[in-house]
A and B are shown apart, each in its own frame.
Chain A
């Protein structure tokens, strides 16, 4: 069984440095609930350096969300902000950290190539 959550965090961890997170400094704890079980991921951010662990520790920002929904977010099939507005994602602590972190969630899978065309302003110069 593929686990989009693990894939997402593994990729983040392996990259080691994520330019989109350079402004975020602090810890974000993800508590993914599945019935009575809670799966924890702790992300430490500093100057774009990313460290991921499975620790259950107090963080600057705690994000509580159902595991199934997080699977969809990690796969780009659900949008984190909309889920937050629905009340399906609970955020405690520094909201700005989460606003920055959401930058690295993938977009929805698309059928066509990412780039719409090859044109660019500098092309003819």
Chain B
């Protein structure tokens, strides 16, 4: 990992340490042992005879397990290299560390081995925002274990640390005395267990976490990868990217406490290991042809937590799909609204989109029946609660003005929605992609109503509404002199006229008039939006354009994957292939792990994609991007009980085969061959070839 930190995780339990395996967290840095949005260890330091250790190497065995090879001493000269220290750490209900020390000397050695441990029990929000704690701490030795505790009224969190070898335990850690014979070794297991409620002394209350064995996790990962389709391809880097994506997606799986062993994609490590409306839905959509079970859990879990009342603090409305769920101290005391928080304008229509797309792939009509009520409530939300301006468009303005989210679309930073001259739009804001999602939700729900819910009246009504919406949208959002759609309508219904990547999502949704689609495709691969690697969030030349501005010029891989899907939908095969080629070429520079975003610099200027500094990696929808790009390149599209394959792949990719694609057809294979020639500056970097093969 490029930040030098070593991360292992299982669901929302994760450990972030330095390359020695030590944790020395300040309030604002994200190292430590975290679970359910709380830090359970902020200090975990190993010393041998009073000395810190130096890493020789770190072995990332699996995403849930790592091994640190160390020698005592710091600095460039090893004062005592006759000793090797190995820490093997696996995350579970907390973590287990096997600590082994080898003596390579001819003489026996006497050692004092010390682990210093402490916890600040910070809420992840406190780590992000550097807030002070309000409760009281404790550190006690009980039955040979070190018990760290935090209490604020009825809110309690605890960490219990124990060792298998004989240890002297004090309130700051554990000390071991060991004599190791020549060529001998000493070892102990250290167990760190997180207690979400109570440390065993209070009345027993339920804990969230379910411990999973390491072997179990290994078998589970193997099964996950085996069950996904197999990719064969002449381009080695793409195969590696694909493998990386599958494993990272496995790592990002999260089982909400109510869902048993079923899992959905969490948004990203370390800050976003929880259920999100938007991120979980979009990642499930990307992964549908590969791992359809994620979509099912996403639909069920988000359905269970669908809003049922009007609650201004949580920005909740009936039918609204949640934005984010958190389990830490701040939401518990309602200092943050995430229990859960609903301030998100796109997850609700996208929920319906996912339900339909899921059925098209899997043929699982049962789930569509089961979630009929939720889908209808979501559609009702679009009409009854989301139209804040009374103009027939979804718009957003938070009701929780203190801790709610100002921007409730995916471009959620403060300066993302601007006019060409750089001025920011006021609230409410009706961003264009929201209208596309609403259109798509209605069209797709009409199919579900007709074919599965057997409600023809409802289907007709939805289609009529959708046609009407499309007509108005193409009139109200179209900027005639620029030939593209406005980024948003402002509170006065005036066009927010910046040229942005959002127009690509409109193609994906199908709201674009066929006659206008050519102009949109031209913009997407034109010099102002297309960097050579991908489509920029905001076009070069706009007032706020900045190649390293979060949502105002950087290239987001996930954004591009949906744009590529949209281009294919409207028949722009070459343009879709071009975008796939650029993003996949960029992935090669990140060893197959696409970042959240990278700089919007012209490709010819930098020659490599400049990573945007961000704390979140891997991130779910970046992880899902290569999967969706494979789908768009191969032109995979369910048609009844058949899977249509219509490949349009870039030349440099050569031969490509995706085997055992699961779906209502059972398992089928898809083959393609690179035929789309992409100009040098744009395509697959060094591997680009001049003519079709």
Within 8 A of B (CB), among A74-125: 76, 79, 81-82, 85-88, 90-92, 95-96, 99-100, 103-108, 110, 114-125
Kindly identify which residue among A82, A88, A92, A103 contacts B308, using a CB–CB cutoff of 8 Å.
A103
**Nearest-Cβ distance from residue A99 to partner chain B, whole angstroms:** 4
**Nearest-Cβ distance from residue A97 to partner chain B, whole angstroms:** 9
Selected interface stretch from A1-9, A16-24, A34-42, A50-58: A16-24
Kindly identify which residue among B153, B332, B370, B392 contacts A124, using a CB–CB cutoff of 8 Å.
B392
Q: Which residue of B lies closest to A24 (CB)?
A: B304
A100→B304 contact, CB < 8 A: yes
B388→A116 contact, CB < 8 A: yes
When distances are taken between beta carbons in the complex, the residues of chain A under 8 Å from B205 are 87, 90
Q: Which residue of A lies closest to B392 (CB)?
A: A121
Q: Which residue of A lies closest to B467 (CB)?
A: A125
Q: Does B234 sit at the interface, judged by CB under 8 A?
A: no
**Nearest-Cβ distance from residue B307 to partner chain A, whole angstroms:** 9
Kindly identify which residue among A91, A105, A120 contacts B384, using a CB–CB cutoff of 8 Å.
A120
When distances are taken between beta carbons in the complex, the residues of chain A under 8 Å from B465 are 121-122, 125
Q: Count the B residues whose beta carbon is within 8 Å of the partner chain — how many?
A: 51
Q: Which residue of B lies closest to A78 (CB)?
A: B334
With A91-B206, A108-B311, A110-B310: A79-B339 Cβ-Cβ less than 8 Å:
yes
Question: What's the interface size class on A, roughly?
Answer: 35 or more
With A82-B331, A92-B206: A122-B461 Cβ-Cβ less than 8 Å:
yes
When distances are taken between beta carbons in the complex, the residues of chain A under 8 Å from B203 are 90
Complex CA–CA separation, A95 to B209 (angstroms) = 13
With A79-B339, A87-B154, A87-B156: A121-B304 Cβ-Cβ less than 8 Å:
no
B387→A117 contact, CB < 8 A: yes
Kindly identify which residue among A91, A104, A107, A119 contacts B390, using a CB–CB cutoff of 8 Å.
A119
With A87-B154, A90-B205, A99-B305: A121-B333 Cβ-Cβ less than 8 Å:
no
Kindly identify which residue among A23, A107, A119 contacts B392, using a CB–CB cutoff of 8 Å.
A119
Within 8 A of A (CB), among B34-93: none
When distances are taken between beta carbons in the complex, the residues of chain B under 8 Å from A107 are 309-311, 316
Complex CA–CA separation, A79 to B192 (angstroms) = 32
Q: Which residue of A lies closest to B310 (CB)?
A: A107
Within 8 A of A (CB), among B311-352: 311-314, 316, 327-328, 331-334, 339-340
Complex CA–CA separation, A90 to B205 (angstroms) = 6
**Nearest-Cβ distance from residue A64 to partner chain B, whole angstroms:** 9
Q: Does B385 sit at the interface, judged by CB under 8 A?
A: yes
B383→A121 contact, CB < 8 A: yes
Complex CA–CA separation, A116 to B384 (angstroms) = 9
Q: Which residue of B lies closest to A104 (CB)?
A: B308
When distances are taken between beta carbons in the complex, the residues of chain B under 8 Å from A90 are 203, 205-206
Q: Which residue of A lies closest to B151 (CB)?
A: A87
Q: Does B214 sit at the interface, judged by CB under 8 A?
A: no
B382→A99 contact, CB < 8 A: no
When distances are taken between beta carbons in the complex, the residues of chain B under 8 Å from A120 are 383-384, 387, 392
Kindly identify which residue among B304, B333, B469 contacts A99, using a CB–CB cutoff of 8 Å.
B304
Q: Does B220 sit at the interface, judged by CB under 8 A?
A: no
Kindly identify which residue among A82, A99, A122, A125 contacts B258, using a CB–CB cutoff of 8 Å.
A99
B156→A121 contact, CB < 8 A: no
Q: Which residue of A lies closest to B371 (CB)?
A: A23
When distances are taken between beta carbons in the complex, the residues of chain B under 8 Å from A91 are 206
Q: Which residue of B lies closest to A102 (CB)?
A: B308
Q: Does B28 sit at the interface, judged by CB under 8 A?
A: no
Q: Does B197 sit at the interface, judged by CB under 8 A?
A: yes
**Nearest-Cβ distance from residue B357 to partner chain A, whole angstroms:** 21
9 closest A-B pairs by beta carbon, nearest first, are A107-B309, A119-B390, A85-B332, A119-B387, A87-B154, A120-B383, A86-B332, A125-B468, A99-B258
Q: A99-B305, A105-B309, A121-B392 are in contact. List 10 more A-B contacts (CB 8 A).
A: A20-B308, A81-B339, A85-B327, A87-B155, A103-B308, A108-B313, A116-B388, A117-B390, A122-B461, A125-B464
Measured CB to CB, the residues of A under 8 A from B are 19-20, 22-23, 76, 79, 81-82, 85-88, 90-92, 95-96, 99-100, 103-108, 110, 114-125
A-B contact pairs, 24 of them (CB 8 A): A19-B373, A22-B373, A23-B304, A79-B311, A81-B339, A81-B340, A85-B327, A85-B328, A86-B333, A87-B197, A87-B198, A87-B205, A90-B205, A99-B305, A108-B312, A116-B388, A117-B389, A119-B387, A119-B391, A121-B382, A121-B387, A121-B465, A124-B392, A125-B465
